[in-house]
Amino acid sequence: MTMITRRTALSMAGATLAAPAIGRADTALPDKTLKILVGFPAGGGSDVMARFIAEALKQRTGRNVIIDNKSGASGTLAGEALKNTPPDGTTVCFMPSATVVQKLTMASIPFDPQTDIAPITLAGTVQTAFCVSPTLGVSSLKEYVEWLKKNPTRNSFGTTAMGSFTHFFGVMAGRAIGIPLEPVPYRGAAPLVADLQGGHVPAGCGGITDFLEHHRAGKVKVIFTSGRTPTTAAPEIPTVTQLGHPDISILGWYVFFAPPRTPPALIDAWGSELRAVLDLPEVRKKMTEFGLDVETSTPAEFSQRMAADFKRWKEILDSIGYKPSN
């Protein structure tokens, strides 16, 4: 899940209400109130992005579009709700890969993202960031490796979510540099940032939007991200690929899903409208500010991508010896 500070979230929520006027378009969507399920609380990153998209969709189609926060269980309650929703074209779900990957990390997830729900379109990709405490006095991966060699007992890193890629990416980075890194679980980004700023933990790993505001304020130092190319929100921060470790490059994403057995015509209608909205310059700009690099797809293209990602994610979990929990 993309995490955003409360102040930033409130500011972004205000931006939602001020969404620019968008020309009305004919649409094949049902002439009813449309609902977007979000598996996280109001004010968080997933919710704020979904609300901005919903406002643009409302202006484009003339339909009433509401957000339904089915928060809990790391987003899986929304997936379960979508699985059991009538396929009448009125309800979709805005879901991150952090929820989807739990099919591999938790045995008890209540839905299968590959069979129980239907993809509509990719919305965009997000990168994981690795940062260090400013008390270390390092500003690059090379300097961090040198610091670790001088401080071998301080090889821990905080993670905003155990069992997610904010955990696995840190472990993979340690393997890449030849110095094992040990994850320390935190209950979200806020306490991790506080401990990083105070020097109580030397490093941390989370979504780029967990840290970008604090990086710019000097409270933490992001030294690399997980992509192949720099994130649009922070092009000055190098990626692991640029630093010579393309094998550990990994991207998260957000995608829109429909209930199972939704007729193809309704999937096409939603896809057409969502891709058009996401392609609007003002929406693309705002998503970039949120830390999402906009990218869309057809349902078939996303299904292929998800299948390939599941295969790679399983290989990553096997390589680090991670066993699914109940």
pLDDT per position as a tens digit, 27-60: 899 999 999 999 888 877 788 889 999 999 999 9
Question: Is the pLDDT at 326 greater than 80, yes or no?
Answer: no
pLDDT at 5: 43
**Same domain for 13 and 151?**
no
Is 324 domain-assigned?
no
Question: Is the pLDDT at 215 greater than 50, yes or no?
Answer: yes
- Mean pLDDT for the stretch of residues 296-315: 95
Mention every residue, 6+ apart, whose C-beta is less than 8 A from residue 324.
104, 105, 106, 107
**Same domain for 134 and 188?**
yes
Question: Is the pLDDT at 99 greater than 90, yes or no?
Answer: no
Is 114 domain-assigned?
yes
pLDDT tier, 4 (very low <50, low <70, confident <90, very high otherwise): very low
Q: Which among 201, 228, 248 is the end of a domain?
A: 248
Is 224 domain-assigned?
yes
Look at 20-24, 124-128, 296-300, 301-305 and tell me which has the smallest mean pLDDT.
20-24
pLDDT at 22: 56
Domain containing 177: what range? Answer: 127-248
- 233-271 residues labelled b (16+ CB within 10 A) or e (exposed): bbeebbbbbbbebeebbbbbbbbbbbbbebeeebbebbb
Is 326 domain-assigned?
no
pLDDT at 212: 84
Q: Which among 225, 248, 271 is the end of a domain?
A: 248
| Structure tokens given for 40 | 């996280």
Question: Is the pLDDT at 113 greater than 50, yes or no?
Answer: yes
Return d(Cα 26, Cα 153) in angstroms, integer. Answer: 62
Q: Kindly report the CATH number assigned to the domain that includes residue 221.
A: 3.40.190.10
- Mean pLDDT for the stretch of residues 183-204: 91
pLDDT at 121: 98
Question: Is the pLDDT at 7 greater than 60, yes or no?
Answer: no
**Same domain for 202 and 303?**
no
Question: Is the pLDDT at 208 greater than 70, yes or no?
Answer: yes
Q: Is residue 191 within 8 Å of residue 238, measured between CB atoms?
A: no
**Same domain for 229 and 186?**
yes
**Same domain for 138 and 228?**
yes
pLDDT digits (tens, 9 = 90+) for 78-91: 999 999 999 999 99
**Same domain for 229 and 264?**
no
Q: Residue 10 CB: number of other CB atoms within 10 A?
A: 13
User: What is the tally of structural domains in the chain?
Assistant: 2
pLDDT at 160: 81
Q: Strand ranges (DSSP E) for the chain? A: 34-38, 65-69, 91-96, 118-132, 156-159, 182-185, 203-207, 221-225, 251-258, 293-294
Q: Which among 200, 225, 248 is the end of a domain?
A: 248
User: Could you give the percent of the chain with pLDDT greater than 90?
Assistant: 66
Q: pTM score, two decimals?
A: 0.81
pLDDT digits (tens, 9 = 90+) for 236-259: 999 999 999 999 999 989 999 999
**Same domain for 12 and 118?**
yes
Question: Is the pLDDT at 289 greater than 80, yes or no?
Answer: yes
pLDDT digits (tens, 9 = 90+) for 129-173: 999 999 999 999 999 999 999 999 999 999 887 777 888 999 999
Return d(Cα 193, Cα 129) in angstroms, integer. Answer: 13
pLDDT tier, 190 (very low <50, low <70, confident <90, very high otherwise): confident
Is 1 domain-assigned?
no
- Mean pLDDT for the stretch of residues 224-245: 94
Question: Is the pLDDT at 6 greater than 50, yes or no?
Answer: no
Is 325 domain-assigned?
no
Length of the chain: 326
| Structure tokens given for 104 | 């591999």
Mean pLDDT for all residues in the chain: 89
Decide: helix, strand or coil at residue 30. coil
- Mean pLDDT for the stretch of residues 265-281: 97
